[in-house]
Amino acid sequence: MLDTDRLEARPEYLRPWQRDAACLSEDVGLFFPPEAERKGARLRREARAKAVCGRCPVLAQCRAHALKVAEPSGIWGALTEDERMHMLAPPSPVRSGQRS
């Protein structure tokens, strides 16, 4: 997701792939949670943001970037922060059934 306020002030922050982002014309609040958002409102907001991502021509680049730098918040590449953290988490140790 792009912070267009920041980009207007410092356009050098724009990565080449972000110039084609579908979220450029969207409200940044759709992609980043407000404080104390209730679960139902969050789920509806995330669904709307993901719908924008679904028509975005740079979804793959956005998702790869967010996973590479471990973006800590917001919707990036149609993934929530929780979904990204889950993807980045190391696999749980497999129980061997043996005692050490």
Residues that bind ligand SF4 (CB under 6 A): 1, 21-23, 31, 52-53, 56, 58-59, 62, 75-78
Minimum CB distance to ligand SF4, residue 6 (Å): 14
Tell me how far apart the alpha carbons of residues 85 and 82 are, in angstroms, rounded to a whole number: 5
Minimum CB distance to ligand SF4, residue 1 (Å): 4
| β-strand partners of 76 | 79
Mark out the alpha helices in the chain (DSSP H runs). 4-9, 39-54, 59-68, 81-88
Nearer to ligand SF4, 46 or 56 (CB): 56
